[in-house]
Amino acid sequence: MIVINPSTRQFNIPGADMVFGVTADANSEIKEFQCPRYVGNNLDLTGCFIRMNYRNANGEIDSYLVKNIDVDGDNIVFCWEMSPKVTMYKGNVSFVMCAVGPDTKVAWHT
């Protein structure tokens, strides 16, 4: 599981989660994330829309809208299903998490 530090806004990615797939994988890998439920100025992430914005190895930019956010104690847990575009090319994938409140006036990013 990839853990998000709310203070530094960095991802702690265990070795087993460093590989997002291989070239041309399609919806076969799912990465699980954990983050404190409340971040920033007491923003409750359970009421937000969460997107994983990414750049694939060819520099193409896209995003994934998180479908389910589960509460686990003081944390939220959610998954990102790797689409074919994420792993279309060999190389590194860059990504950030973007949480936007339901009224779009509040946002929190990694």
Condensed to tens digits (0 to 9), the pLDDT of residues 10-62 reads 999 999 888 888 887 888 889 999 999 999 888 999 999 999 999 999 999 99
Q: Please answer whether residues 81 and 65 qualify as being in contact, where contact means their C-beta atoms are separated by less than 8 angstroms.
A: no
Nearest to 75 by CA among 54, 105, 46: 46
Distance, CA of 8 to CA of 109 (rounded, Å): 11
pTM of the model: 0.91
Digit-coded pLDDT (tens) for 48-77: 999 999 999 999 999 999 999 999 999 999
